[in-house]
């Protein structure tokens, strides 16, 4: 390790970084002299949930890593990096493509430093987990669509109104019926009627 980025995160103002910093400092102290980093960058996000990746310092750290300015990311624990395992795995795999290692100081099994002999095996396992998760999501979506079809739910973009139906809607509107009343009379959604009338209004304005 030549340059590392240490990332700390707390979700609320009642928490502090000290417990995380204590364990990270101890990890650094226990490193062999030849493995100690020459440069350390600190990134801290306070009062932000780990469920989102939209964290200022987190994004800054990733940009720094992708730019090749650090070769290892160090965290106190995986959930400080991300609360979603699949998101964490995806990011770790992406970081590896950029030659950036990952270390969780309190979870040795997740320490994917360049010196870890099982690093490639762990990354392969992570990739497999991510693929299984993707397949599971796809299967759920397909099953949901099939169930919707069986319930008679119309899928896809709504069908365009026929000329006769369009004329009927316009006539009702001209007679003073509200959009909701037209929707009920014609058995169409309020959105369809609104789209039709907006189209007519636009034509009138252009004329």
Task: Please give the CATH topology (third level) of the domain spanning 148-202.
Answer: Arc Repressor Mutant, subunit A (1.10.10)
3-state SS, residue 36:
coil
Q: Among residues 43, 32, 48, which one has the least CA distance to residue 6?
A: 43
End-to-end CA, the chain: 70
Mean pLDDT of the region 89-112: 84
Give the separation between CA 176 and CA 35, rounded to whole angstroms: 80
Tokens representing residue 12 in the block? 């609320």
Domain with CATH 3.40.50.1390 in the chain: 3-125
Percent of the chain scored above 70 by pLDDT?
A: 77
Compute the residue count for the chain: 207
Tokens representing residue 7 in the block? 């990332």
Q: Does 72 have pLDDT greater than 80?
A: yes
Single pTM value for the model? 0.59
- Segment 115-144, tens digit of pLDDT: 676 766 776 776 666 566 666 667 777 777
State residue 3's pLDDT score.
Answer: 94
- Segment 141-190, tens digit of pLDDT: 777 777 777 776 655 555 555 677 778 888 887 777 788 888 888 888 77
11 CB-contact burial (10 Å; exposed 0-12 / middle 13-18 / buried 19+): middle
Which pLDDT band holds residue 107 (cuts at 50, 70, 90)?
Answer: confident
State residue 188's pLDDT score.
Answer: 80
Phi, psi dihedral angles at 11 (to 5 degrees): -85, -30
Q: Looking at 9-13, 53-57, 150-154, 177-181, which range is the least confident one?
A: 150-154
Mean pLDDT of the region 65-81: 92
State residue 155's pLDDT score.
Answer: 58
Which pLDDT band holds residue 206 (cuts at 50, 70, 90)?
Answer: very low
Long-range contacts of 188-195 (CB under 8 A, 24+ apart): 188/161, 189/158, 191/158, 192/158, 192/161, 193/169
Give the separation between CA 11 and CA 202, rounded to whole angstroms: 49
Mean pLDDT of the region 50-54: 85
State residue 51's pLDDT score.
Answer: 82
Active site residues: 11
Q: Which CATH architecture has domain 3-125?
A: 3-Layer(aba) Sandwich (3.40)
Bridge partners, residue 41, by sequence: 5
Domain with CATH 1.10.10 in the chain: 148-202
């Amino acid at each position: 390790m030549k340059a590392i980025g240490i990332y700390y995160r707390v979700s609320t103002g009642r928490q502090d970084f000290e417990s995380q910093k204590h364990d990270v400092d101890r990890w650094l102290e226990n490193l062999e002299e030849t493995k100690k980093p020459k440069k350390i960058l600190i990134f801290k996000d306070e009062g932000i949930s780990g469920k989102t990746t939209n964290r200022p310092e987190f994004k800054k750290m990733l940009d720094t890593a992708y730019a090749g300015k650090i070769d290892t990311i160090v965290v106190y624990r995986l959930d400080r990096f991300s609360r979603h395992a699949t998101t964490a795995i995806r990011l770790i795999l992406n970081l590896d493509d950029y030659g950036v290692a990952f270390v969780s100081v309190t979870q040795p099994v997740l320490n994917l430093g360049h010196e870890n002999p099982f690093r490639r095996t762990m990354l392969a396992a992570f990739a497999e987990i991510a693929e299984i998760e993707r397949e599971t999501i796809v299967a759920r979506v397909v099953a949901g669509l099939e169930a919707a079809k069986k319930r008679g739910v119309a899928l896809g973009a709504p069908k365009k109104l026929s000329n006769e139906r369009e004329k009927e809607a316009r006539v009702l509107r001209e007679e003073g019926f509200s959009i909701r009343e037209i929707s009920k009379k014609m058995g169409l959604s309020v959105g369809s009627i609104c789209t039709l009338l907006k189209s007519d209004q636009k034509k009138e304005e252009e004329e």
